[in-house]
Amino acid sequence: MNATDFRKLLHAKSYKATPSRLAMLALLSRVTKPLSVPDIRKRLGGKHYDQATVYRTLLMLKKMGIVKQIDFQHGMSYYELSARGDHHHVICTTCERIEDVQECCVVGMDSLVLQQSGFAEITQHSLEFFGICKRCKA
């Protein structure tokens, strides 16, 4: 995904392709870990973007299904591209360590959830594991 793709993505839903949006999409697709709002603002090059803008953009991207909001129980939300694929996280409750979990057992669960619930559509899911990493255990 390059800048041109991002423009198309936004235009497809008649959103404007503004510098802040393109920068955020570029950042999120370049990165391999979920980012918090402060993370995003720090890493958005030299440019300063207002926090309200970042929050508003994330909300928009979330509604579009492009980003996923994740809770590490660290007092704020983290965000990553849905396009990064179906993976999960392990969070150390002692330090701040976070690792990806590649195996996804949730594939196929969506239809099961639809069956047994009063829901018409599943758009996302999030699976996080909490525990203690080896370093903290020692």
Residues of this chain that bind DNA (CB under 7 A)? 7, 10-11, 15-21, 36-38, 48-53, 55-57, 59, 75-77
Q: Are 72 and 91 in contact (CB under 8 A)?
A: yes
DSSP classification of residue 84: G
Q: Are 97 and 103 in contact (CB under 8 A)?
A: no
Among the listed residues 2, 4, 102, 111, the single contact to its own copies using CB under 8 A: 102
Among the listed residues 52, 73, 85, 111, the single contact to its own copies using CB under 8 A: 73
Kindly tell me which of 20 and 93 has the beta carbon lying closer to DNA. Answer: 20
Per CB under 8 A, contacts with its own copies among 51-70 are 69
Of the candidates 74, 11, 20, 6, the one whose C-alpha atom is nearest the C-alpha of residue 52 is 20
